Amino acid sequence: MAYVAVKGGEAAIAAAHAWLAECRRGATDVPALDTEQIMGQLGRAVDRVMAEGALYDRELAARAIAQAQGDLIEAAFLLRAYRTTLPRLIDSEPVDTGAMRPLRRVSAIFKDLPGGQRLGPTTDYTHRLLDFTEPPTPAATANETAPPANQASTPAAMPRVTDMMGAEALLEPDQAGGDTPGDLTMEPLDFPAGRDLRLQGLARGDEGFLLALAYSTQRGYGHTHPFVGELRVGEVAVSIAPPELGFAIEIGDITLTECQMVNQFGGSKAAPPQFTRGYGLCFGHQDRKAIAMSLVDRSLRAAELGEAAKAPAQNDEFVLSHCDNIEATGFLEHLKLPHHVDFQSELETIRKMRADILGEAS
Amino acid sequence: MLDTTETSFSRADWLGILARGTAAFITEALQKAPALPEFVRLRGPETGMSMVRGRMGGGGAAFNLGEMTIARCSIRDAAGRIGHGYAAGRDEALVELIARLDAVLQAPDLYPAYARAVLAPLCQAEAARRAALEARAAATEVKFFTLATMRS
Amino acid sequence: MNTLTPGFATPLQAQACFRAVLKAMSFPGAPVELPGVAEPPAALSPAAAAILLTLADTMVTVSLPPGAEGADWLAFHTGAKTAPAADADFVVARARPALSTLRLGTYDEPEMGATLILDVPDLDAGPRFRLTGPGIAHETLRRLPLDDQFLPEWRALAAKTPLGVDILLCAGTTLIGLPRSLTMELL
């Protein structure tokens, strides 16, 4: 396909950008959005943009959402573009989700868990009725209702459900560590892809696409018969070990959602049956994304677990080549760009073909 | 988090405490401490990224989850001490303050004044924040009870 | 690690240095000035230090002259790791290593050939050469501080095009680029 440079349109583009800026701002007698409002009141959009932009920075994501007028894929694109201006300084130590301070922690498989189940600020039990009331006045400030600072601030121990089941060997264990994990931001993805690269791809994958793939596994496209072993949402400390210090230090906290999916048991003549697992981990508070990711992760492990891989969600090339929405929309939206010359040749070909056919008929 | 009654934090501890601060909070807190020495920048302050790693299944092999913004700064102060500062996010003023504090906190005779003025209030603020979140979360704990069956 | 010294004061210096290296490689044999580094470690000339600050990062390996404390400085400012000269992406030397002992790249990835940063006392010394090839309009005649063994080694590598090694000659804050595409003859 030949690309031909087309001149002209500069004035049109300038006018378009000016109009875009006005649309973005909206009516000037209405207050402008600021990033504090977006971070504070559209937190779930911020979480999604951070995950799909693959860059954890709430303020940058909020800024991108405002600039994109709420188009979240466009916002993720802005974040990815900004990312290219930042140097990669150091990799973190692997986060310890076992040490998470969960705002939310639920399990579908066990009722009584050490540390209890806590709902967190969930929409699960709302009635999904559109709320027409004015925003409520803020409750008493946190300082008035919080317990004194010198009370124990760490929650009761919350061991992972998977560790509890693993202790009885009912559940396949975590896969042991190897060398440095692969990084698909540095090397082009090749197939079959290792689970480290698959998880990285899924973590930044489009929520809608993963949701659909996960749903397809539930409808029979690849059997999984899954249960949510545990879903956790909360802050986790991030540590780095700078060479100039020679030891690890914490640099802050990020919010993560983690889903442990427990699936049908495998087993063979050699090994007794064990439940198999899927794992989801993503930035921010995103139940749907983490659960979907864990189902697709399990599904992509088909070959490793000796299952026939026939369904789309079991096909790593299909899933990973199409789950990055910036990559996908880049190619999709390029169709809008001028293809005048190519189409000219298509027109000529089809006219000639029609003339030949219709000419013969007469 | 650390007990605020501790008298002496390790360097790893104080860097973690400072990283949770803000430039405004620390500048304010420094009003109650001796002025920090003059300094020369060795590197930064600069913004970049760290690739956050997770573990498969929560405890298995590492994988790359996604990047986060971080800022860092390294200085040498007038007494020749080298200080390093790092924090999540893009606040270059914050990490320069952290580096300057890291330098003086390494001196045993200077440590107490800065620990009292800066580290202690930062610890308390962070502990209060976490306690408040934990209180809200604990209030959403589900108290399961078994319903009596209809037939009994 | 009390020997740490500052690197570039601003990103503008890194940009200027990048431009200088680009110019040196694009117009081989022509001296280019670049912003040096105020306090480079003893092992490196200001030009070599500036080139490393500009081009090295966590993704590349560097071989430094033996006995140098520059490894800490390099790691601190760029994140680059050191490697033996036979394996490194960038080789910094005062004594010229035999070119065939450095990485030459592969036919699939000829760009993986090493870049040799050769620190010399004076760029206007040594035998006179005629330089021709890409980036030179007709010919350039000049002295280059290269030993007797250099030209046979350079010609041997040229026979393996596109494999090879690219050279940056540094003295003080001046730089001359000798990309592998350059043809050299003794006058």
Taking only the tens place, the pLDDT of each residue in B26-50 is 999 999 999 999 999 999 899 999 9
Angle CA B71–A67–B48, to nearest 5: 15
Q: What is the pLDDT of residue A6?
A: 62
pLDDT score recorded for residue A164: 84
Q: Number of A to B CB contacts under 8 A, please give it.
A: 242
Residue C166 Rama label (left phi>0; alpha psi -120 to 50; beta): beta
Min Cα separation C16/chain B (Å): 18
Q: Is C115 helix (H, G, I), strand (E, B) or coil?
A: strand
Residues in chain B within 8 Å Cβ distance of A290: none
User: Which burial class, exposed, middle or buried, applies to A152 when counting CB atoms under 10 A from its CB (0-12, 13-18, 19+)?
Assistant: exposed
Does residue A271 register a pLDDT over 90?
no
B126 contact residues in A (CB cutoff 8 A): none
- For residue B76, list chain C residues with Cβ-Cβ distance below 8 A: 4
Nearest chain B residue to A163, by CA: B59
Contact across the interface for B56 and A203, Cβ inside 8 Å: no
Cβ-based contacts of B133 with chain A (< 8 Å): 101, 103, 235
Minimal C-alpha gap between C25 and chain B (Å) = 29
Are B82 and C2 in contact (CB < 8 Å)? yes
For residue A43, with 0-12 CB atoms within 10 Å meaning exposed, 13-18 middle and 19 or more buried, which class applies?
A: middle
Write down the mean pLDDT value for chain B. Answer: 92
User: Of all residues in chain A, what percent carry a pLDDT higher than 90?
Assistant: 71
Query: Cβ contact (<8 Å) for A203 and B69?
Result: no
Q: How far is CA B85 from CA A244, A273, B42, B90, B115, in A?
A: 11, 50, 12, 12, 16
What pLDDT is recorded for position B101? 98
Give one DSSP letter per residue of C120-152, joined into a string.
-S-TT-S-EEEEESTT-SS-EEEE----TTHHH
Strand pairing of A249-266 and A274-283?
antiparallel
CB contact under 8 A, A117 and B142: yes
The predicted structure's pLDDT at residue A225? 79
What gap in Å lies between CA A262 and CA A112, rounded to an integer? Answer: 17
- For residue A21, give how far its alpha carbon lies from the nearest alpha carbon of chain B (Å): 26
Contact C58 A88 (CB under 8 A): yes
Q: What is the DSSP string of A134-156?
A: PPPPP-S-HHHHSPPTTS--SPP
Query: What single string gives the DSSP state of each residue in B23-49?
Result: HHHHHHHGGGSPPPPPEEEEEEEEEEE
Mean pLDDT of the A218-226 span: 81
pLDDT bucket at A357, cuts 50 / 70 / 90 = very high
User: What's the confidence (pLDDT) of residue B116?
Assistant: 96
Q: What value does the mean pLDDT take over residues A276-304?
A: 96
Residues 78-97 of chain C with CB under 8 A from chain A are 79
Q: How large a percentage of chain A has pLDDT more than 70?
A: 90
**pLDDT band for position A139 (50/70/90)?**
low
Average pLDDT over residues A62-83: 98
What pLDDT does residue B60 have?
93
pLDDT of B8 higher than 80? yes
**8 Å CB contact of B55 and A199:** no
* Residues of chain C where predicted confidence (pLDDT) is lower than 50: 1
Residue bearing the bigger pLDDT, A151 or A56: A56
Contact A90/C79, CB-based, under 8 Å? yes
Which of C1, C57, C58 lies nearest to residue A244, judging by beta carbons?
C1
Q: Which residues of B touch A323 (CB under 8 A)?
A: none
Q: What is residue B55's predicted lDDT score, i.e. its pLDDT?
A: 96
Computed over every residue of chain A, the mean pLDDT equals: 90
- Confidence grade of residue A144 (pLDDT, cut at 50, 70, 90): very low
For the record, the structure tokens of A336 come out as 């809008």
Q: What is the pLDDT of residue B15?
A: 98
Q: Torsions phi, psi of C53, nearest 5? A: -60, -35
Question: Closest by alpha carbon to A148, among B126, B132, B141?
Answer: B132
Decide if pLDDT at B7 tops 90. Answer: no
User: Does the structure show a pLDDT above 90 at A360?
Assistant: no
* Amino acid A176: pLDDT: 80
What separation in angstroms does the CA of A322 have from each of A80, A271, A280, A293, C9? 17, 36, 18, 14, 43
Residue B150 pLDDT > 70: no
CA-nearest residue of chain B to C38? B42
CA distance B51 to chain C (A): 13
Report the pLDDT averaged over residues A175-201: 91
Which pLDDT does position A142 carry in this prediction? 43
Residue with tokens 């990084």: A183
pLDDT for the residue C86: 96
On whether any CB of chain A is under 8 Å from the CB of C66, the answer is: no
Q: Which residues of A touch C59 (CB under 8 A)?
A: 186
Choosing among C54, C58, C60, C78, which should be mutated to test the A contact, i.e. which has the most A CBs within 10 A?
Answer: C58
Distance CA A63, CA A60 (A): 5
Please state, for a pLDDT cut of 70, what percent of chain B lies above it. Answer: 91
Tell me if A251 and B19 make a contact (CB, 8 A cut-off). Answer: yes
pLDDT of residue C70: 86
Q: What residue ranges in chain A does DSSP mark as E strands?
A: 55-56, 88-91, 101-106, 227-240, 249-266, 274-283
**Cross-chain Cβ contact A147/B60 below 8 Å:** no
CB pairs under 8 A between B and C: 19
> Lowest-pLDDT range, A164-173, A284-293, B81-90?
A164-173
Partner B contacted by C4 (CB < 8 A): yes
Q: pLDDT for B108-147, tens place per residue? A: 999 999 999 999 999 999 999 999 999 999 999 998 876 6
Lowest mean pLDDT among A149-153, A180-184, A240-244, C86-90: A149-153
Helix or strand run (H / E) with residue A165: helix A161-167
d(CA C148, CA C186): 10
How far A87 CA lies from chain C's nearest CA (Å)? 9
Which residues on A lie below 8 Å from B85 (Cβ)?
none
The answer to ipTM > 0.85 is: yes
pLDDT on residue A145: 45
**For residue B22, pLDDT beyond 50:** yes
